[in-house]
Amino acid sequence: GAGVSQSPSNKVTEKGKDVELRCDPISGHTALYWYRQSLGQGLEFLIYFQGNSAPDKSGLPSDRFSAERTGGSVSTLTIQRTQQEDSAVYLCASSSYDRALRETQYFGPGTRLLVL
């Protein structure tokens, strides 16, 4: 009955380095979403996975950002050659395919990324 988990909780990196952020969705949830929240801003959609379908990458801000979802469960968001403007909280959410529940997204605690 665990919720969505994300790791690491906090990540400090140097400009130009690559980072990987991990998301473990709620077991059985077929949909997985990544969002980004910059300081004092709302959430910005990045990428969405639904089952085995091709992901919706329409929110990725540049080709430095990519994400994978292995085995329909765990997802990794990778940011290559990080820039200072990538500093933000990266939030992952999942939702069920159950008709009665699929519009509710369950969020993880987020990864706070700081690029120096």
Q: What's at 87, amino acid-wise?
A: S
The helix (run of H) or strand (run of E) holding residue 43 is: strand 43-50
* CB atoms closer than 10 angstroms to residue 53: 10
Complex with another protein: residue 14 or 99, whichever CB lies closer: 99
Going by DSSP bridges, is the β-strand pair 10-13/111-115 parallel, antiparallel, or unpaired?
Answer: parallel
25 binds another protein, rule: CB under 8 A: no
Provide the residue count of the chain: 116
Does residue 42 touch another protein according to CB under 8 A? yes
- When binding is defined by CB under 8 A, the residue of 4, 21, 67, 113 that contacts another protein is 4
Tokens of 63: 């080709």
Q: Which stretch binds another protein (CB under 8 A): 16-24, 62-70, 72-80, 104-112?
A: 104-112
Ramachandran quadrant class, 18 (left: phi over 0; alpha: psi -120 to 50; beta: rest): beta
Q: Which of 44, 57, 64, 73 binds another protein (CB under 8 A)?
A: 44
Residues of the shown chain interacting with another protein in the complex, contacts defined by CB under 8 A:
4, 30-31, 33, 35, 37, 40-45, 48, 50, 56, 59, 89, 91, 93, 95, 97, 102-110
